[in-house]
Amino acid sequence: MNTLSERIKECRIKLHLSQEYVANHLEMNRATITQIELGKRKVTAEELAKFSSLFGMSADALLNGENVEKPVTIFARSFSELDERDQNEIMSLMQFKKMMKEQKRINE
């Protein structure tokens, strides 16, 4: 069975988040995230709450290894933190990518 530190690392990787991003979001330094992921440092209750919020899951789910993959949740949270101009830019990029994908499918 995975340890909490392994589940934290697994969630971070599945969500394509760097240790630096997680550290900045949780107001920690990257070395602390490394120590936590390696099991060399215990996670406080406050930190557990921050990790679970970042990963879009309950603290209980993170502790017990349930429901560890929710990339849409992290995207939605990050998207909502942007200003309207940045959100519009991302939406335009997504529409462009969808159009390019459709064009590629037609040309094949």
**Mean of the pLDDT values across residues 17-32?**
95
Q: Is the pLDDT of residue 88 over 70?
A: yes
Delimit the domains of the chain by residue range: 4-69
Looking at 6-10, 13-17, 67-71, 79-83, which range is the least confident one?
67-71
Query: 35 versus 16: which is more confidently predicted?
Result: 35
Residue 5 confidence class, pLDDT cut points 50, 70, 90: very high
pLDDT in tens, 66-85: 655 466 666 777 777 888 99
Residue 50 CA neighbour count, 13 Å, CB half: 13
Domain 4-69 has CATH 3.40.109.10: no
Q: What is the pLDDT of residue 73?
A: 67
